[in-house]
């Protein structure tokens, strides 16, 4: 069966763009050096200010970035700010327009693959769903980066406490944390120190930090420092108590994760096992499993099974998730 020239060209172009997208995403994860990555994240952070911050964010840019009309148009999209924040939290230095282009390429490839290899009603929608894979990857990377920030947060507080007890100011202590500790906590504290040194109020800088990083322990730090700025209490002692509390909570969280590992494993098994069985039956007895996608009743069974598997997976994950 011949292939339409237009479809052939689309497949070739999509494959080339997908390869370039994969290379760009791999580079954004860590191929660039740390200093360059920090400069890029600082540039991205200048556009991720909290709603109550009115400072001139252009002062925080390491370099001036000329924005084209396409950039301005993309910034007006309703989901642009949320996607940009997710990319920053993931530590991805990929520009928003390139990330959206990657998502479109994945959607086109998924659509072509679904039309060619998945003769099921509604397969086009399933194929277009591949366009959300880059965003799901960014969400996963953001969760990992947030977890790394939480793991380093107590060490950052200890270093800040020692700097305060040695007689340094709060902004100098933040700068020391940014220079001594690795990313992500080092990058975020250095950025907050730069904001304060450039004239932004401490409260606004803390609000920006809480806006950029969605860590559960961070609001306690923000409240503690904000209260100290208003009441003039001993900040080193307050942060020492907070650091001890965070360490104990982190230990408890590790114990809870070890106790709920079986529930998460059950959820993963529920999601994977039906596909494994279908693949095994297809390899051993194709005629037995073929009616599953060649008949209307088989299509109905597949859709019902997919819904029930999804419900079971979500229920198991919900039972295995305990907030600490």
CATH number for the domain spanning 225: value is: 1.20.81
- Closest Cα partner for 217 from 138, 156, 160? 156
| pLDDT top residue among 61 and 131 | 131
Mean pLDDT of the chain: 79
Query: Does residue 63 have a pLDDT over 80?
Result: no
Same domain, 153 and 74: no
When divided into structural domains, the chain yields a total of 3
Same domain, 139 and 153: no
Average pLDDT over residues 200-204: 89
Same domain, 134 and 24: yes
Same domain, 173 and 121: no
Last residue of a domain, one of 245, 279, 298: 245
Same domain, 273 and 299: yes
Same domain, 189 and 229: yes
Burial 63-81 (b: 16+ CB within 10 A, else e): eeeeeeeeeeebeeeeebe
pLDDT tens digit string along 141-169?
999 999 999 889 999 999 999 999 999 98
Same domain, 72 and 90: yes
Residue 212 domain boundaries: 149-245
pLDDT-wise least confident of 48-62, 98-112, 181-195, 197-211: 48-62
| pLDDT of the residue at 324 | 60
| pLDDT of the residue at 1 | 43
Query: Does residue 301 have a pLDDT over 60?
Result: yes
- How long is the chain? 324
Residue with tokens 């763009």: 17
Please tell me whether the overall predicted TM-score, pTM, comes out greater than 0.85 for this model. Answer: no
The answer to the question of residue 282 being in a domain is yes
Provide Rg for the chain, Cα atoms: 25
Residue with tokens 């277009």: 128
Query: Does residue 176 have a pLDDT over 90?
Result: yes
| pLDDT top residue among 157 and 49 | 157
Last residue of a domain, one of 115, 143, 171: 143
The answer to the question of residue 253 being in a domain is no
């Amino acid at each position: 069966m011949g292939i339409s020239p237009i479809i052939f060209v689309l497949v070739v172009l999509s494959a080339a763009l997908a390869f370039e997208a994969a290379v760009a995403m791999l580079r954004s994860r860590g191929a660039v050096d740390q200093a360059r990555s920090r400069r890029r994240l600082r540039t991205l952070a200048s556009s991720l200010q909290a709603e109550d911050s009115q400072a001139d964010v252009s002062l925080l840019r390491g370099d001036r970035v000329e924005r084209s009309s396409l950039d301005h148009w993309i910034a007006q999209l309703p989901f642009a700010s949320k996607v940009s924040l997710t990319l920053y939290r993931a530590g991805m230095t990929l520009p928003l327009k390139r990330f959206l282009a990657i998502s479109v390429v994945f959607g086109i490839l998924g659509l072509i693959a679904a039309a060619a290899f998945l003769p099921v009603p509604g397969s086009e929608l399933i194929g277009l769903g591949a366009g959300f894979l880059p965003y799901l990857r960014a969400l996963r990377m953001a969760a990992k980066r947030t977890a790394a920030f939480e793991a380093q947060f107590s060490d950052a507080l200890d270093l800040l406490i020692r700097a305060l007890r040695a007689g340094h100011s709060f902004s100098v202590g933040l700068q020391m944390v940014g220079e001594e500790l690795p990313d992500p906590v080092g990058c975020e504290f250095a950025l907050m120190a730069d904001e304060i040194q450039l004239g932004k109020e401490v409260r606004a800088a803390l609000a920006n930090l809480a806006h950029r990083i969605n860590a559960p322990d961070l609001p306690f730090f923000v409240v503690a420092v904000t209260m100290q700025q208003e009441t003039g209490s001993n900040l080193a002692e307050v942060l020492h108590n907070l650091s001890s509390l965070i360490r104990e909570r982190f230990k408890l969280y590790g114990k809870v994760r070890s106790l709920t590992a079986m529930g998460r494993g059950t959820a993963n098994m529920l999601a994977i096992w039906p596909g494994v069985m279908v693949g095994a039956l297809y390899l051993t007895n194709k005629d037995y499993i073929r009616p599953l996608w060649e008949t209307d009743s088989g299509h109905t069974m597949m859709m019902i099974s997919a819904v029930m598997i999804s419900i079971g997976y979500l229920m198991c994950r919900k039972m295995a998730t305990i907030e600490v």
